[in-house]
Amino acid sequence: MLFIAGLIILALGIFSGAILLLAPLGLIEATAGLTLWVLFPLFTVGGYLLAASAAPDTALPTLSRATGAVLLLLALVAGVVLVLQGGSLMEARVGGASLWYVLVIGLLGGASGLAAHRKPQQA
């Protein structure tokens, strides 16, 4: 039950990040309010920790890598959009603060998730 609850909370965190990414672009009819700014990192980290605490040891590396990959994908999309906006190739409906936020949180969480549970290299 803890594992499923953790996955749901994790999914809600990632969904919050996706809204923060897509709303300024006008791709979805949503407003990225303060609640999403708070819930994106809290639900992502909290959901991961809850799921990881109940996950079997064999599933933990997969959970970490999958979470890291999704967060890194969000960060990469935010980075591409920021570059396109910087070159005046794309316009946002509102400011780009949420894009920067998703970029930073996604890079930190994504790199951490993908680097976790690495097997030690042999000398």
83 domain residue, yes or no: yes
Q: Which of 71, 52, 70, 50 is nearest to 61 (CA)?
A: 52
Q: What is the pLDDT along the chain (123 residues), one digit of tens a residue?
A: 899 999 999 999 999 999 999 988 877 887 778 999 999 999 999 999 999 999 888 889 999 999 999 999 999 999 999 998 888 777 766 778 899 999 999 999 999 998 887 776 776
Distance CA 76, CA 64 (A): 18
Domain region containing 64:
2-115
123 domain residue, yes or no: no
pLDDT given for residue 123 in this prediction: 60
26 domain residue, yes or no: yes
Distance CA 32, CA 111 (A): 25
120 domain residue, yes or no: no
In the chain, DSSP assigns E strands to: none
Counting the structural domains of the chain, the total is 1
pTM of the model: 0.89
Distance CA 74, CA 82 (A): 12
pLDDT given for residue 19 in this prediction: 94
